[in-house]
Chains A and B, each alone.
Chain A
Amino acid sequence: MSEVTHIHEHAVGVSHEAHHEGHHHADHGSFLSKYVFSQDHKIIAKQFLITGIFWAVIGGFFSVVFRLQIGFPDAKFPWLETLLGEWAKGGQLQPEAYYALVTIHGTVLVFFVLTAGLSGTFSNFLIPLQIGARDMASPFLNMLSYWFFFAAGIIMLSSLFVQTGPFSGGWTAYPPLSALGDASPGSKIGMDMWMISMALFIVSSLLGGLNYIATILNMRTKGMSMTRLPLTIWAFFFTAVLGVLSFPVLLSGVILLIFDRHFGTSFYLSDIFINGQALPNEGGSAILYQHLFWFLGHPEVYIILLPAMGMVSEILSVNSRKPIFGYMAMVGSMFAIAILAFLVWAHHMFVTGLNPFLGAFFVLLTLLIAVPSAIKVFNWLTTLWKGNIRFTPAMLFAIGFVSLFISGGLTGIFLGNSALDIQLHDTYFVIAHFHIVMGVASMFGMMAGIYHWYPKMFGRYLNNGLGYIHFWITMIGAYVIFWPMHYEGLAGMPRRYYKYDIWESFKQFGTLNQIISIAAIIVFLAQFLFLANFFYSIWKGRKVTSKNPWGANTLEWTTPINPGHGNWDGEIPEAHRWAYDYGKDGQEFISQTTPVGDNESKH
């Protein structure tokens, strides 16, 4: 067992050696302190991951259920009633339940899976390991961050079981549906629980984000200058900054919403009739909520995407056995994306009463994002170009990410034009766009990360064969599910409807919707291959026998195969070079810990 160093609050400019002072004690706490209330970033990362997986299964299952409704609106599934009771009376999903499932699917996937599950897992796991630190700046706040997330999850989960059902007004929670308890069953206590859950989630993400930022800035090992950081770390850094600056605005928006719901204010309400009754509320603006929501909402999509981008950059480079192409351009474009992310939110509101003149500026700024996005795509492709590619499952998922990001990014350019958006807004075109570019792409980034760093997390490998099957079914399935949605959307088929066969014009999509639903079910089932692989391999997978199985340069591969709390047994290694010296001077790879030789060529 390795010795642990407890990282105490320490004075200015203390180097890592100072950590060795303080209380030494061995790593044999109780089960509770070691696996439950652990302050080790690696354990916390796994907690985030497994909680994220739990929510992915729930959210994914919900999508299967509502896809059954869209694909087979007239069929009856008695087993659904067995499973969901009231929600599927007579084997038919009820409209209210349909909306609730769509809403919770969106909320859970966006926040719990692709924010907490993705950046919670990998920021925690990789930041200290890759920058050369023994743990996060504040391991305690880090632990709190997880437990706030956990509490948020408990409350969201409980909201599924209340009499009136969970919130059902869409993941964006627009008022008046979200502000008036009388508007729908889901707008009653379900919405209150939704808000409490989100508030806890915001606290969790704030605690996590502050820690990531402070750790990256303050705790890099000697020689690990900012420009020697792997791109993963840059991505986590920008992600954390985006989160710290955008989530508080959602908090403000939610606080005003709480007052509108319970304290008789009218921040978002004006001139409303409900059940034929005029409400007294006057002077509020529903658009105000949309501004507050999307000021978070748009950065949020990059909070989801950036970690995936960072990990994919790393995995592509390692498995092409080539340096990443255009390191500084990659950092620069992530910076540009982070800045622009704050300046484009109103592109979600082109047709909700936004001044068209103002809209023009948002069109311009939105389309500008295509520039850094394209730079990144070209850099990934040139990294692959003439590489010595090893097609590991992680690499396949990383390449899949690039493909999806291109496909989904291109449709973003359609949507970014406010004139085209009049036709496309709130149709299946938008669903296709954001699922491909954000949902599936980031999920691929996450999968790539899991397959790649699994040996470091658990000291064992995932099964490769299952990995390949998992990849191909998911890759092909994702395109089968989302590609046709573009056509539906172009034809004007609106999102968030319970039934489409009542429209003459959408009857033509009946079969297409069935194909999509069947593909969705297959893809969902294929994820169980991954789950089985994941949990089986934790205990039974092939053991990792060398420290650096992928031949990678970054510092995490210099730790013991199963690092204890504190990560390195002896001194923390120094960084002497950037992370991407692959195939240099005839050497396959040169670890960041290797000093630069006398007659080494410059990069």
Chain B
Amino acid sequence: MAQAAVNTKWWGGGKSPFNVEYGKLMMWYFLMSDAFTFGAFLISYGTVRMSSASWPDPNHVFNAVPFFSGVHMPLVFVSFMTFVLIVSSVTMVLAVNEGHKGNKQGVIKYLFWTIVFGLIFLGSQAWEWTHLYHEGAWWGHNPFPNADGTVATTNFTNFFFTITGFHGFHVFSGVVINLIALLMTQNGVFERRGHYLMIEKVGLYWHFVDLVWVFVFLFFYLV
């Protein structure tokens, strides 16, 4: 690579200056764009929260775990969800890696696991939403008092459902895209193309969605 960089002018025209195919470039710019969408949501949430005198304590809101009703286990379940999503990123890396080697079976195997973990995450989120709903939380309804005991506005639940919902929608589309990529791999589309670039692009999207979750996790559950 260093050799090539010496002999060629990357910006001189006739080739991609970043040595990437256009689709990947578009994906990068799309992710920047999407980062601004999430950024706008999270900053809105942050400013509203900062300008409120008090706010509900996540340790008291997110303390339930399926099959353990009545037990107070703050943040255990969401940590599990986060772990699942991180593992799915790892399997995605492995899928991309198998793609580099041109190993169709490997790509299929790891894409499959990525999809499975994605579905587990979505299922967990569905469970959590249902649980909160039964506690009386929804858009426009907030049963949780502020940490200082005062009555809270509905902003807490409004932002929670909107932002985790928007993220969940991204995970869902990611799963669908992964599924399409899996079917295309199985049908040998990429084998015929001679490269698995599509898996790389799908992977970029998947990692991005995971990364966004880290921020959602941080700002809704941890602080």
Contacts and interface: CB of A to CB of B under 8 A. Distances in A.
Contacts of A255: 162, 166
Interface in B89-107: none
A266 B156 CA distance: 10
B162 A248 contact: no
A252 B41 CA distance: 6
- For chain A, the bracket of interface size reads 35 or more
A563 B157 CA distance: 57
A378 interface: no
B32 interface: yes
Contacts of A221: 13-14
Contacts of A295: 40
B177 interface: no
Interface stretch (B15-23, B64-72, B123-131, B212-220): B15-23
Contacts of A263: 139-140
Interface string B23-47: 1011001101110110111001001
Interface string A250-285: 011101100100011111000000000000001111
Contacts of B17: 217-218
Contacts of B109: none
Contacts of B162: 255-256, 259, 265
Nearest to B36: A248
Interface in A376-398: none
Contact of B12 (A223, A246, A283, A284): A223
B102 to A, nearest CB: 13
B6 to A, nearest CB: 16
- For chain B, the bracket of interface size reads 35 or more
A282 B22 contact: no
Interface in A1-17: 9-16
B155 interface: yes
B183 interface: no
A213 B14 contact: no
A138 B193 CA distance: 17
A72 to B, nearest CB: 44
B164 interface: no
A204 interface: no
Contact of A245 (B19, B22, B33): B33
B173 to A, nearest CB: 14
A222 interface: yes
B14 to A, nearest CB: 3
Contacts of B140: 263-266
B52 interface: yes
A248 B26 contact: no
Contacts of B22: 9, 137-138, 214-215, 218-219
Contact of A292 (B29, B44, B194): B44
A365 to B, nearest CB: 18
A249 B36 contact: yes
B34 A248 contact: yes
B155 A266 contact: yes
Contacts of A508: none
Nearest to B141: A264
B9 interface: yes
B181 to A, nearest CB: 14
B60 interface: no
Q: Which of B36, B48, B140, B166 has the most CB of A within 10 A?
A: B36
Q: Which 9 residue pairs spanning A and B have beta carbons closest together?
A: A264-B140, A283-B153, A222-B14, A252-B40, A224-B13, A137-B22, A248-B37, A220-B13, A265-B158
Interface of B: 9, 11-23, 25-26, 29-30, 32-34, 36-37, 39-41, 44, 47-48, 51-52, 139-141, 153-155, 158-159, 162, 166, 193-195, 197
Interface of A: 9-16, 131-132, 137-138, 141, 206, 209-211, 213-215, 217-226, 228, 244-249, 251-253, 255-256, 259, 263-267, 282-285, 288, 292, 295, 574-575
Given A225-B11, A256-B44, 7 more contacts: A16-B14, A217-B16, A220-B13, A249-B39, A252-B37, A267-B155, A284-B48
